[in-house]
């Protein structure tokens, strides 16, 4: 992947993340990154493949933040917007999640 393709990829990912104003204003991506490892082992055994693992591990981190900081459970959140936000964030952290996936797979 050349530099221009990487820049385009990052811009598209950031565009997806920034579109979700509800979550963008409330979720600190640094906290998400730290929380990714919390349930990695359990999520690995509960999922069938890498894509599902990537989505679920990010979902758990974001939902933990939403509950811990705002006491908003999954039923209180805008579900479609949450799914789009999760996909964007999981793509943003793809390299970290791949390393984590390989680590728990062993």
Whose tokens are 């006491």? That residue is 71
Taking the C-alpha atoms of residue 20 and residue 50, their distance in angstroms, rounded to an integer, is: 24
Query: For the segment 24-80, what is each residue's pLDDT rounded down to a tens digit?
Result: 788 999 999 999 999 999 999 999 999 999 999 999 999 999 999 989 888 888 888
Could you tell me the residue range of the domain that residue 32 belongs to? Answer: 3-105
pTM check: above 0.85: no
Confidence of residue 21 (pLDDT cuts 50, 70, 90): confident
How many domains are there within the chain? 1
pLDDT at site 19: 52
Whose tokens are 């992947």? That residue is 1
């Amino acid at each position: 992947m050349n530099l221009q393709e990487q820049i385009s990829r990052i811009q598209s990912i950031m565009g997806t993340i920034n579109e979700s104003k509800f979550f963008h204003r409330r979720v600190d991506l640094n906290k998400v990154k730290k929380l990714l490892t919390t349930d990695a082992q359990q999520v690995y055994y509960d999922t069938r493949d890498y894509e599902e693992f990537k989505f679920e591990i990010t979902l758990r981190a974001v939902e933990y933040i939403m509950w811990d900081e705002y006491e908003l459970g999954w039923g209180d959140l805008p579900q479609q917007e949450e799914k789009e936000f999760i996909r964007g964030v999981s793509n943003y952290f793809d390299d970290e999640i791949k390393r984590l996936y390989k680590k728990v797979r062993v």
